[in-house]
Amino acid sequence: MSADNRRQLWIPEGFAHGFVALEEDTEFLYKTTDVYARECERAIVWNDSALGIRWPKVAGREPLLAPKDAAALPLAEVEVF
């Protein structure tokens, strides 16, 4: 996805997802089906070895995480709906 190709990604409601921005000043927008409800939000730690995701490093650095993502738990410990 890029500003040039204007593509979007549909993520089903309740579906775990994550992304990494590969360029500075990246803007990421969510279009939702309802108003945001913080109490319904869950987070899985980005580098959970059980998931086996090979995240790329940008400029050789560890990722800059939002506070909620930095405090996230492994999938095995996350409360599920």
Which are the contacts of 73, defined by CB distance < 8 A and separation ≥ 6? Answer: 43, 44, 45
Return the residue matching tokens 């560890």.
Answer: 62
Task: Give the global pTM.
Answer: 0.75
**What values do phi and psi take at 61, rounded to 5?**
-100, 155
Alpha helices (runs of H) in the chain, residue ranges in sequence order: 67-70
Q: What is the pLDDT of residues 18-75, one digit of tens each?
A: 888 888 888 888 888 889 888 888 899 999 999 999 998 888 888 888 899 999 999 9
